């Protein structure tokens, strides 16, 4: 019972300790697995003399950690672009980015511009793009050949054979597959609630098809590897990783569109190594470094020209999963307005609690 609270206070304590110990020559990075491979970290340390401490995390965890400390404890975070402004509005955990300190010419201009727009609050920009990718379906083409869209995950014949997360991408994906456009309903809570209610009903009726709701990426990969799960909703990178091991398994861009996300760089409000943070951003956006991150994370970056350095397999896998039309059909997450996540939370709780 107290575990959660302890965790919060522990984070506080550790945060306080860490900030007092860390000197200016250390960069505390709050990021995703694969975004700061050892090789890149070592090269950065060699070049700049700045130590990099990497903490692996996810969107919710990043916000929770920074919220618990009021934006201290880390010097650079990597939230998805759609989660930046709402978190900033609610909890004031970030600091605006000084775009003049960013080497804009290293970025794909359209991406930099899109992120700039999406992470803007009260005229200040809070994020620059780093890694982008999509959520869609990982399908074992042999044992579940018919799965082509999110809703196919509850097709008859798949009994306890599929898996997805009980998180907002699932709600959004199912909404699209059911012919709705949740993004356009973002600013109309009544309409959004109506969509959510439909999705809730669907997800509850789908429970029989689900083996388990996955929460860790590695768990899911294991479930698919062992054949226990035949189709899942997950990230493209996971699908490609499995494809290299098991040719039958691959990432499929759903008919109603893959969900596109961009992970950004954002400065925690009480960052203690701002210069180092900018140095890191400019460093990892170098095409050859960005390619290394693509190798390790399995996703492409917003670095201009890094494609040339990325190995052919990944490119081939990408092309196999995404036709030109599928790329156009990617649904990019717009920023989430405040209040929506609470509505989604209640739906997810009810799905979890439902019994067939």
Partner 1 sequence: MKPQHFKFGLALLLTPILLWLTLLIALPHVDMAMISLRERVSAGTYAFSWSNYTAFFTEPLYWRTFMRTAVMSIMATALTLLIAFPISFYIAKVARGRLRPLLFLLCLVPFWVSELVRTYGWMILLRETGVLSSLLQWLGWVDGPVEMLYQDATIMVGLVYTSMLFMVVPLVSTLDSLDDSLIEAAYDLGASHWRVMRDVVIPHAAPGIVSGCIVVFMLTLGNYLTPTLLGGKDSLWFTEQIYTQFITRFNWEQGSAFGILLLILSSLIVWIGLRLSRQSFTKVMS
* Residue 259, CB-side half-sphere exposure with 13 Å CA sphere: 25
157 forms part of the interface with partner 1 (CB under 8 A) = no
Closest CB to partner 1 among residues 85, 301:
85
210 forms part of the interface with partner 1 (CB under 8 A) = yes
70 forms part of the interface with partner 1 (CB under 8 A) = no
1 forms part of the interface with partner 1 (CB under 8 A) = yes
Closest CB to partner 1 among residues 4, 312:
4
Closest CB to partner 1 among residues 27, 87:
87
Cα 121 to Cα 112: distance, rounded to the nearest angstrom: 16
* Residue 305, CB-side half-sphere exposure with 13 Å CA sphere: 9
Cα 348 to Cα 14: distance, rounded to the nearest angstrom: 31
Which string of DSSP letters, residue by residue, matches 146-212?
T--SGGGGG-TT-SS-EE--SSHHHHHHHHHHTT--GGGGTT-HHHHHHHHHHHHHHHHHTGGGBS-
CB of residue 44 vs partner 1: minimum separation in angstroms? 30
Q: Which of 39, 61, 181, 218 binds partner 1 (CB under 8 A)?
A: 61
Helices (H) and strands (E) in the chain, counts: 14, 14
Cα 184 to Cα 304: distance, rounded to the nearest angstrom: 30
Q: Which of 63, 224, 253, 281 binds partner 1 (CB under 8 A)?
A: 63
> Binding to partner 1 (CB under 8 A): which residues in 216-235?
226-228
Q: Which of 56, 117, 315, 350 binds partner 1 (CB under 8 A)?
A: 350
- Can you tell me which residue has the tokens 């994020």? 127
Which string of DSSP letters, residue by residue, matches 60-121?
HHHHHHHHHHTS-S-SEE--BGGGHHHHHHHH--EE---GGGS-GGGB-HHHHHHHHHHTEE
Closest CB to partner 1 among residues 87, 97:
87
Q: Which of 8, 155, 178, 330 binds partner 1 (CB under 8 A)?
A: 8
Cα 284 to Cα 44: distance, rounded to the nearest angstrom: 9
Q: Which of 33, 70, 160, 334 binds partner 1 (CB under 8 A)?
A: 160
Per-residue contact track with partner 1, 170 to 209, x per CB under 8 A? -------------------------------------x--
Closest CB to partner 1 among residues 142, 350:
350
124 forms part of the interface with partner 1 (CB under 8 A) = no
Cα 288 to Cα 47: distance, rounded to the nearest angstrom: 15
Task: Give contact residues for partner 1 (rule: CB under 8 A).
Answer: 1-9, 60-61, 63-64, 67, 87, 89-92, 160, 167, 207, 210-213, 226-228, 338, 341-342, 345-346, 349-350, 352-353, 355
């Amino acid at each position: 019972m107290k575990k959660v609270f302890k965790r919060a206070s522990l984070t506080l304590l550790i945060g306080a300790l860490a900030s007092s110990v860390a000197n200016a020559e250390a960069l505390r990075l709050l990021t995703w697995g694969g975004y700061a491979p050892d090789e890149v970290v070592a090269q950065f340390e060699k070049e700049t003399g700045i130590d990099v401490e990497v903490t692996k995390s996810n969107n919710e965890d990043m916000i929770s950690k920074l919220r618990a400390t009021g934006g201290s404890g880390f010097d650079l975070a990597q939230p998805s672009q759609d989660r930046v402004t709402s978190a900033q509005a609610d909890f004031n955990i970030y600091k605006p980015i000084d775009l003049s300190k960013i080497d804009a010419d290293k970025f794909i201009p359209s991406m930099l511009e899109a992120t700039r727009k999406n992470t803007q609050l009260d005229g200040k920009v809070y994020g620059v793009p780093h890694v982008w990718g999509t959520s869609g379906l990982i399908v074992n083409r042999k044992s579940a050949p018919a799965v082509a869209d999110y809703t196919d995950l509850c097709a008859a014949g798949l009994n306890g054979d599929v898996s997805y997360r009980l998180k907002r991408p699932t709600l959004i994906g199912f909404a699209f597959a059911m012919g709705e456009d949740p993004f356009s309903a973002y600013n109309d809570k009544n309409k959004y609630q109506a969509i959510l209610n439909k999705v809730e009903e669907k997800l509850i009726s789908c429970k029989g098809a689900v083996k388990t709701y996955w929460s860790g990426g590695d768990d899911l990969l294991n479930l698919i590897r062992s054949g226990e799960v035949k189709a899942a909703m997950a990230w493209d990178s996971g699908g490609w990783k499995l494809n290299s091991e098991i040719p039958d398994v691959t990432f499929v861009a759903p008919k109603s569109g893959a969900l596109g996300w961009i992970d950004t760089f954002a400065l925690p409000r009480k960052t203690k190594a701002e210069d180092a943070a900018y140095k890191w951003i400019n460093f990892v956006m170098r095409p050859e470094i960005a390619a290394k991150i693509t190798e390790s994370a399995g996703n492409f970056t917003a670095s201009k020209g890094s494609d040339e350095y990325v190995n052919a397999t990944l490119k081939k896998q990408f092309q196999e999963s995404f036709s030109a039309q599928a790329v156009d059909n990617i649904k990019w997450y717009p920023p989430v307005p405040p209040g929506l996540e609470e509505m989604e939370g209640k739906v997810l709780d009810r799905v979890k609690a439902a019994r067939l």
